[in-house]
């Protein structure tokens, strides 16, 4: 399976570390996985230290047609089977690709309620699945 993770965060923390470990595990077990991140971010430097397979591109805004096109082109060239997003911004960056037919998995690692009906709509209809790796879920 070919999986593309999108991480627009500029800082390094537990979520980013866990994502790199997951990507490295997948690559070590016969899959192809990549992390897309900002070239000048802490995520890029730390992921490089961990040996994570990286794709760098500016991930500045939630809605960026040029970024979406670059991601789509990468997905097409590398036969990506699944996109994985964690944050709301990452989700919005991937949404055009999902609408073009590439499955999108959204991780939700917090137990806070989703909130507004608009956000709930995006969770319900804007991705293929939601992964909640917590003991409690607010869905």
Question: Which residue segments constitute the domains of the chain, with CATH numbers given?
Answer: 2-131 (3.40.50.2000)
pLDDT digits (tens, 9 = 90+) for 36-77: 999 999 999 999 999 999 999 999 888 888 999 999 999 999
Q: Whole-model pTM?
A: 0.83
Confidence band, pLDDT 50/70/90 cuts, at residue 115: low
CA–CA separation, 30 and 33 (whole Å): 10
- DSSP codes joined into one string, 61-130: -SS-HHHHHHHHHHHHHTT--EEEE-SHHHHHHHHHHHHTT--EEEE----S---SHHHHHHHHHSSSEE
For residue 91, give the nearest of 127, 66, 45, 135 by alpha carbon: 127
């Amino acid at each position: 399976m070919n999986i593309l993770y999108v991480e627009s965060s500029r800082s390094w923390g537990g979520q980013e570390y866990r994502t790199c470990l997951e990507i490295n595990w997948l690559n070590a077990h016969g899959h192809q996985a990549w992390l897309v991140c900002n070239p000048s971010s802490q995520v890029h430097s730390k992921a490089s230290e961990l040996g994570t397979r990286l794709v760098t591109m500016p991930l500045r805004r939630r809605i960026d047609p040029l970024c979406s096109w670059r991601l789509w082109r990468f997905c097409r060239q590398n036969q990506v089977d699944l996109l994985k997003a964690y944050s709301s911004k990452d989700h919005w960056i991937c949404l055009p690709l999902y609408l073009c037919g590439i499955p999108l998995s959204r991780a939700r690692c917090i137990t806070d309620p989703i909130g507004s009906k608009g956000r709930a709509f995006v969770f319900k209809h804007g991705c293929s699945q939601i992964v909640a790796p917590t003991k409690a879920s607010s869905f």
